[in-house]
Amino acid sequence: MRKRKNASDRLPSGSFSGETGTWQPVCHYLSKPPSRTKGRLAVTIHSRIPVKPAAISPFRTVREIAESDERGPAHDAMGKMACFVSRHLTSIHPDLGRSGPICPFARQGSATGGIRFADCDAQSGQETRIGEIMAQVRGEFLAWGQGSGIPPMLRAFVVTFSALEGPEDTAMIERVQRRLKPDYVESGLMIGQFFPGCEESGIHNPDFRPLNAPVISLAVRFMALADAPFMLGDQRFRAAYVARHGTDGERELLLADRRAKAG
């Protein structure tokens, strides 16, 4: 019997270069010739969140992106991040500083359809609009999760920004992330920025750059117990973290405080 391929098998082979922030080779499935079959691939559309003058596309799974015949910058951006999540984040990296894959939830999240991607066509300078869209994404993520049947830690939304590039746009995305983080954390969520050359350090190795990705993006997921180091320095964050994780959270915060003081 022929073995059925999973969603990540349909993505291109290759590796993500942390030094250059590029996927090598280029995602060749994004430039394949149009399908000769009649009709279009039936794509499961979770939601469409229009906010003029910038809009966000439907959220799609890794499989839906890999099998789609669509073309254009938005599809390219989602495809590159789908590669990054389902291949790079599921790999074991020698500089990570701990055992296991870079993201322990990425493989199952990609396979179950819990990690979904959408593209926002916001332009440079539309910082307020991006904030408004991502505020709505937070509500959409929570509402979808309640009836998805997928375990919370395997769910994530990744919003790519195909029209953004360069240091000014990455600085804008970082400002949006910082501004929205309090509301996300109080909802039991995390919002993280990804972009080429991101200098955010890893938890276990300060020289590792886990957020160095091929496309400017914002990712939304549920707060994990391992997120204690990101809660330090703000009492609102600490309170929300303990409210979600209870005594285990209190213990992790104490450990994170000790590590921070030890340098």
Residue appearing with tokens 């009492």 = 235
Tens of pLDDT, residues 47-84: 455 666 678 888 999 999 999 888 999 999 999 999 98
Question: What pLDDT is recorded for position 148?
Answer: 78
Candidates 153, 143, 120; CA nearest to 53 is 120
How many CA atoms, within 13 angstroms, populate the side-chain half-sphere of residue 90? Answer: 17
Tens of pLDDT, residues 149-208: 899 989 999 999 999 999 999 999 999 999 999 999 999 999 999 999 887 766 666 776
Question: What pLDDT is recorded for position 48?
Answer: 53
Question: What pLDDT is recorded for position 33?
Answer: 31
- CA dist 214 and 81 (Å) reads 7
Asked if residues 98 and 16 have their Cβ atoms less than 8 Å apart, the reply is no
Phi and psi at 177, nearest 5°, equal -60, -45
Residue 135: pLDDT band with limits 50, 70, 90: very high
How many CA atoms, within 13 angstroms, populate the side-chain half-sphere of residue 70? Answer: 18
User: pLDDT exceeding 70 applies to what percent of the chain?
Assistant: 74
CA distances 135 to 46, 49, 116, 132, 258, Å, are: 17, 11, 17, 5, 33
- CA dist 160 and 215 (Å) reads 7
Longest CA span, the chain: 63
Candidates 151, 153, 148, 174; CA nearest to 226 is 153
Phi and psi at 16, nearest 5°, equal -90, 130
Among the ranges given (11-25, 73-87, 167-181, 212-226), the one the predictor scored with the smallest mean pLDDT: 11-25
* Angle CA 94–203–114, to nearest 5: 85
The arithmetic mean of pLDDT across residues 12-25, rounded, is: 42
SS3 244: helix
Candidates 216, 145, 131, 133; CA nearest to 182 is 131
Residue 115 bridge partners (DSSP): 156
